[in-house]
A and B are shown apart, each in its own frame.
Chain A
């Protein structure tokens, strides 16, 4: 089964690389919403429409001219069970919407998992590029390149006045959603985060939890993305986001410096307790795990903990999610069993 490689490893190849500002910015993502001209949008498409769209995308990916974007593997949602789909969501390779809500949904994944093309989600195509650290401009460049290749072969729904036509009016125009996932524990501890969130929304950006629309902030991670897609060029949107993210990075750094200066003991205590709980707990739920992993990560970033790699933490973030936990133990677990399994995975991982 070809899709197994994408499911069994907790972190994608791309996540092992280090990007700029990686102590605060986890990843940068750009997705482009595109539709084909002659088909109804997925919400109204028939199964045969949907299958034709999958075939067309597969056709483009298999063409010789697509060779310089690398190899893609096409995975249909109905070939996967619930748990396998959930793992792909936890790895940010597909949206919760594609996993649960789509009819005839599919995804094409690149070898290193930095590109994914969702098919028959809310729009016919959702071209996504994910990179580590603050590389939002590169993510746009790469997603744009994939888009160019599709556009040569497929006739997009495009209107001179409205731009790329999308199923939802919130995406029309450029169809771009650029987002940056950040770890901002110091801003949360000092309570500055609320002020920042409300300021950010005033410049056409929005803050979400790490699993996209509707998900809550978990373990001091926030995802900042553009809200406006019509009337601003892709470059302006990406630059605007980049500028705001840089300001937040500066604020987080300042907050971290202040914490060390003024509350060194408190922070060392917090990090030490996190390490203590994570290395010794026998039962831990996902919320506590996320919080303690965040504290430990802060400790690593502040050089209070030196023998654990940030990559290990990235891995644990995914490995401790309910879907991945159950997938790796090969069976459906009750919440209580999951909490026990989660604790044991964390203990093992931190021992090495």
Chain B
């Protein structure tokens, strides 16, 4: 069937419009449908990643790679309530905590999309500062242990206070 509008391309989109009880059918090619504004947005007709994601995930089970297929069925993010099944269907996470709750299922997905599963690149200064703080605390704690072993208690007390201050800073989340 050729497009009714341009009569050149094959009609790939078929519409039925009912206005005031009157039924109208028309058959258009993608181009004319867009021109007529019958297709809203460009992303409705593309074959996007989201269509592929559930395929990627079921492939996993088909190959028997998924260690516990049943547990992933009931997996759920406790923060936003999104289930793993919903994620598979829509291909979108609900909140940043989904990454934690679905953690065990994600490595193969990321490897398939990106060929990698670990981030390399920019780190926000704030998270960077936190990381820095964490490292500093770890180092100080080691030093503290050594002072205690050497029975230098005055020095140890100073370190203890320093660690407490840093830990407070870290828990405030504002390094």
Contacts and interface: CB of A to CB of B under 8 A. Distances in A.
Given A101-B41, A214-B42, A231-B116, A160 B131 contact: yes
B119 A163 contact: yes
B91 A100 contact: no
Contacts of A147: 122
A34 B85 CA distance: 25
Interface stretch (A39-47, A52-60, A257-265, A292-300): A39-47
A27 interface: no
Contact of A230 (B117, B123, B131): B117
A173 interface: yes
Contact of B45 (A214, A228, A232): A214
Given A97-B43, A165-B93, A335-B35, A148 B119 contact: no
B92 A168 contact: yes
Interface string A203-234: 01000000111110000000000001111111
B55 to A, nearest CB: 14
Contacts of B44: 214
Nearest to B124: A151
Contacts of B117: 162, 230-231
B173 A169 contact: no
Interface string A96-117: 1101110000000000000000
Interface residues of A, number: 58
Contacts of B131: 160
B31 A230 contact: no
A122 B117 CA distance: 22
B111 to A, nearest CB: 9
A159 to B, nearest CB: 6
B45 A169 contact: no
Contacts of A144: 122
A117 to B, nearest CB: 17
A322 B124 contact: no
B65 interface: no
Interface string B82-125: 10000000111111100100000010011001111111111111
A174 B119 contact: yes
A8 interface: no
Contacts of A151: 124-126
A170 B148 CA distance: 50
Interface in A232-269: 232-235
Contact of A168 (B49, B116, B173): B49
A162 to B, nearest CB: 6
B48 to A, nearest CB: 6
Interface in A82-107: 96-97, 99-101
Contacts of B42: 96, 211-215
Contacts of A232: 116, 120-121
Contact of B95 (A40, A162, A164, A231): A40
A234 B116 CA distance: 15
Given A214-B43, A231-B114, A161 B119 contact: yes
Interface in A24-46: 35, 37, 39-41, 43-44
B68 interface: no
Nearest to B36: A335
A151 B128 CA distance: 11
Interface string B29-43: 001100111001111
A230 B122 CA distance: 11
B80 interface: yes
Interface in A143-171: 144, 147-148, 151-152, 155-170
Contacts of B124: 151, 156, 158
Contacts of A164: 119, 122
A172 interface: yes
Interface in B112-153: 113-127, 131
A176 B96 CA distance: 17
Interface string A106-135: 000000000000000010000000000000
Contact of B92 (A43, A214, A233): A43
A155 B92 contact: no
Given A37-B96, A160-B123, A335-B36, 4 more contacts: A160-B119, A161-B119, A174-B121, A287-B31
26 contacts: A37-B96, A41-B94, A96-B43, A97-B43, A101-B43, A147-B122, A151-B125, A155-B173, A156-B124, A160-B123, A161-B118, A162-B110, A163-B119, A164-B119, A165-B99, A168-B93, A172-B110, A173-B121, A174-B121, A176-B121, A212-B42, A214-B48, A228-B115, A230-B116, A232-B116, A285-B35
Closest 3 CB pairs of A and B: A231-B116, A214-B46, A163-B119
